[in-house]
Structure 1
Amino acid sequence: MWWFQQGLSFLPSALLIWTAAAFIFSYITAITLHHVDPVLPYISDTGTVAPEKCLFGAMLNIAAVLCAATIYVRYKQVHALNPEENCIIRLNKAGLVLGLLSCLGLSVVANFQKTTFFAVHVCGAILTFGMGSLYMFVQTILSYQMQPKIHGKQVFWIRLLLVIWCGVSALIMLTCSSLLYSSSFGTDIVQKLHWNPEDKGYALHMITAAAEWTMSFSFFGFFLTYIRDFQKISLRVEANLHGLTLYDTAPCPVNNERTRLLSRDI
Structure 2
Amino acid sequence: MLLCCMPGVAFVPALLVCWSSAAFIISYVIAVLAGHVEPLVPYISDTGTKPPESGVFGFMINISALLASITMYIRYLLIEKQNESSHFVRSSCNMFTLCVGLMGCTGMGIVATFQELAVPSVHDIGALVAFGSGVVYITLQSIISYKSCPRWNTYFVCHIRMAISAISCIAFIPMIVFASKISMTKIDWTPGEKDYTYHFMSAICEWTVAFGFIFFFLTFIRDFQEVGRSEMRRNMERGERESQRQVSEASRRSWRKQKEQMANNEHLGIFSACGIQLAVQDFPAFWVSTQL
Q: TM-score, normalised by structure 2?
A: 0.75
Distance 1:19 1:154 in 2: 25
Corresponding residue number in structure 2 for 1:97: 99
Deviation at 1:196? 2.0
Distance 2:80 2:194 in 1: 51
Structure 1 residue 176 corresponds to structure 2 residue 178: yes
Deviation at 1:87? 4.0
Q: Which runs of 4+ in 1 moved over 2 A?
A: 1-4, 83-88
Note closer, same or farther for the CA distance 1:119–1:20 as it changes in structure 2 (3 Å cut): same
Q: Structure 1 regions of 5+ residues with no counterpart?
A: 182-188, 236-263
Q: Structure 2 regions of 5+ residues with no counterpart?
A: 234-292
Corresponding residue number in structure 1 for 2:226: 232
Q: SS of the residue aligned with 1:231?
A: helix
Q: SS of the residue aligned with 1:78?
A: helix
Corresponding residue number in structure 1 for 2:31: 30
Structure 1 residue 65 corresponds to structure 2 residue 66: yes
Whether contact under 8 Å (1:7, 1:265) holds in the other structure is no
Note closer, same or farther for the CA distance 1:155–1:86 as it changes in structure 2 (3 Å cut): closer
Length, aligned pairs only? 230
One-letter amino acid of the counterpart of residue 157, structure 1 = H
Deviation at 1:65? 0.8
Corresponding residue number in structure 1 for 2:283: none
Deviation at 1:265? 4.3
Corresponding residue number in structure 1 for 2:77: 76
Q: SS of the residue aligned with 1:82?
A: helix
| Bigger shift: residues 3-12 or 170-179 | 3-12
Distance 1:2 1:196 in 2: 42
| Bigger shift: residues 164-173 or 86-95 | 86-95
Structure 1 residue 193 corresponds to structure 2 residue 187: yes
RMSD: 1.9
Q: What are the residue-to-residue correspondences of 1:217-256 with 2, within 5 Å?
A: 217-234=211-228
Distance 1:150 1:17 in 2: 25
Please list the CA deviations of residues 243-266 of structure 1 after superposition, one character each: whole Å capped at 9, or x if unmatched: xxxxxxxxxxxxxxxxxxxxx846
Whether contact under 8 Å (2:17, 2:215) holds in the other structure is no
Q: SS of the residue aligned with 1:107?
A: helix
Whether contact under 8 Å (2:110, 2:126) holds in the other structure is yes
Deviation at 1:122? 1.0
Query: Larger Cα Rg: Structure 1 or Structure 2?
Result: 2
One-letter amino acid of the counterpart of residue 124, structure 1 = G
Deviation at 1:234? 3.8
Corresponding residue number in structure 2 for 1:184: none
Whether contact under 8 Å (2:89, 2:144) holds in the other structure is no
Distance 1:126 1:83 in 2: 35
State which of 138, 153, 164 in structure 2 corresponds to 1:136.
138
Whether contact under 8 Å (1:169, 1:214) holds in the other structure is yes
Structure 1 residue 211 corresponds to structure 2 residue 205: yes
Deviation at 1:86? 7.8
Corresponding residue number in structure 1 for 2:90: 88
One-letter amino acid of the counterpart of residue 218, structure 2 = L
Identity of aligned residues (%): 38
One-letter amino acid of the counterpart of residue 106, structure 1 = M
Distance 2:151 2:90 in 1: 14
Deviation at 1:2? 6.2
Whether contact under 8 Å (2:10, 2:222) holds in the other structure is yes
Distance 1:67 1:11 in 2: 9
Corresponding residue number in structure 2 for 1:54: 55
Q: SS of the residue aligned with 2:227?
A: coil
Distance 1:96 1:170 in 2: 20
Q: TM-score, normalised by structure 1?
A: 0.82
Deviation at 1:55? 0.7
Please list the CA deviations of residues 100-159 of structure 1 after superposition, one character each: whole Å capped at 9, or x if unmatched: 111111111011011111111011111110111111111011011111122211121111
